[in-house]
Amino acid sequence: MVPALGQLAPEFTLPSDRGDISLSAYRGKTNVLLAFYPGDFTPGCTSELADFAADWQRFRDLNAEILGISSDTVEKHREFSQSLGLPFPLLSDRRKEVIRAYGVNDLLVGCKRAYFLIDLQGKLRYRHIEALPLFKRDDSELLQELRKLKPVTLDPKLSS
């Protein structure tokens, strides 16, 4: 089931090409773009993640971290990341627990191409799940959605 907008995003910890990463580590610090994608080294995913790398500073300027997620292995992520020079981590969801929690499991390709923006409070503020994995959102659309997120004053107890 796809999480509803305005609700807390489903929490997770996954291994990545840069060590274990927990979504909660970003709460109170930065917005997060979860970018689910079918697989490393495929033409569409290579293009998509290369675009994210090219626009990475624009995402950072809007106080956002990009987390790429697929069911590929950490080793394959490491090779893929190095081949593209990615400045953001790629998370491995081999058991597809997070993929299912976000409602993007696909029997044919393993994982649908999908985007979820999570705000500083950990709430889901935007989601788009592609009908076909051939398509992707343009970074300008995702950056526009990030601009809509208003800075919030957090309870100091939440950020500790």
Q: What 3-state DSSP class applies to 92? A: strand
Amino acid, single-letter form, for residue 158 = L
Amino acid, single-letter form, for residue 110 = G
- Please state the φ and ψ torsions of residue 73, each to the nearest 5 degrees: -75, 160
45 belongs to the catalytic site: yes
Which parts of 23-160 are beta strand (E)? 31-36, 64-70, 90-92, 105-106, 110-111, 114-118, 124-129
Out of 21, 33, 45, 149, pick the active-site residue: 45
CA distance 52 to 88: 9
Number of H-type helices and E-type strands within the chain: 5, 9
Q: List, by residue number, the catalytic residues.
A: 45
